[in-house]
Structure 1
Amino acid sequence: MESSGWVAVRCIFRGQAEDPGEFVYEERVTLWRDTDVDRAIEKAEAEAETYASETTWPGRVSKYLGLAQAYALSDEPGDGAEVFSLMRTSDLPPAAYLDRFFDSGRERQGDVGGPAELA
């Protein structure tokens, strides 16, 4: 697969939640113009440290956790372009997989609908 010269990098952050002893985790994907994935990760991590130092969630400090995952885009960014992909092997059925990794009920997200039933 040939690179488009763009790299998406996902970084993970943690901030203090409203309730003591709980934390808010943020997954943030940024886009970098570079043909070298390692260099794009370096840029993203530098930006992540700045973002974390400047970001507060109602008085709660954010911290970059040091995890960066990169995806080299094969297409130019635009409508329908894939900008990030992470594959994971699992023995979980679809509904349990989504609950475990994406929809535990504690996400700060809206519901726009979706498949009525997952087996």
Structure 2
Amino acid sequence: MVAAGMADGKSWYAVRCVFRWDASEGAPYEERLTLWQAVSMDQAIARAEVEARTYARENGHRYLELAQCYRLDTAGRPGDGDEVFSLLRDSSLGEEAYLDHYFDTGHEHQGTATEA
């Protein structure tokens, strides 16, 4: 039995696109991951960017024309625990400084509106 997506040469890709919410207080940035089945990274990015422009237009945001792609190493549909994105970054910062600089600036909007 051939896993879904394998017989047609397609793989799953996660694409991260970056947006600016100009109409929101503070004009925050959004990093958004979407999942695509495609035959190549180029095709996944092209499809993701079409969706990103639509998402931005429909929500009053600006797409900043940055898309980063990651091919999932999965046979068939993604499942529990599958890695969906990875980005390596060289930095001379120590661990705590690195986390503070890139991930814990104090200006993150985390969680959802439905969380208590």
**Fraction of identical pairs, as percent:** 55
> Is the aligned partner of 1:47 residue 2:51?
yes
> Is the aligned partner of 1:12 residue 2:11?
no
More divergent stretch after superposition (45-54 vs 3-12): 3-12
Instruction: Count residues in correspondence.
Output: 100
For 1:94, the equivalent position in structure 2 comes to 95
1:32-75: CA deviation from partner (whole Å, max 9, x where unpaired): 011311010000000000000111xxxxx201000000000111
For 2:39, the equivalent position in structure 1 comes to 35
Matches within 5 A, 1:39-118: 39-55=43-59, 61-75=60-74, 76-110=77-111
TM superposition shift of 1:23: 1.6
Quote the Cα distance in structure 2 between the aligned partners of 1:35 and 1:103: 36
TM superposition shift of 1:89: 0.7
The question of whether the paired residues in 2 share the 8 Å contact of 1:14 and 1:64 is answered with yes
Moved over 6 A (4+): none
Quote the Cα distance in structure 1 between the aligned partners of 2:102 and 2:10: 29
Gaps of 5+ in 1: 56-60, 111-119
* TM-score calculated relative to the size of structure 1: 0.79
The question of whether the paired residues in 1 share the 8 Å contact of 2:41 and 2:69 is answered with yes
Quote the Cα distance in structure 1 between the aligned partners of 2:104 and 2:18: 17
Gaps of 5+ in 2: 1-8, 112-116
1:60-93: CA deviation from partner (whole Å, max 9, x where unpaired): x201000000000111411110000000011111
* TM-score calculated relative to the size of structure 2: 0.81
Distance 1:102 1:4, change over 3 A: farther
- Flag the structure with higher strand content: 1
The question of whether the paired residues in 2 share the 8 Å contact of 1:6 and 1:34 is answered with yes
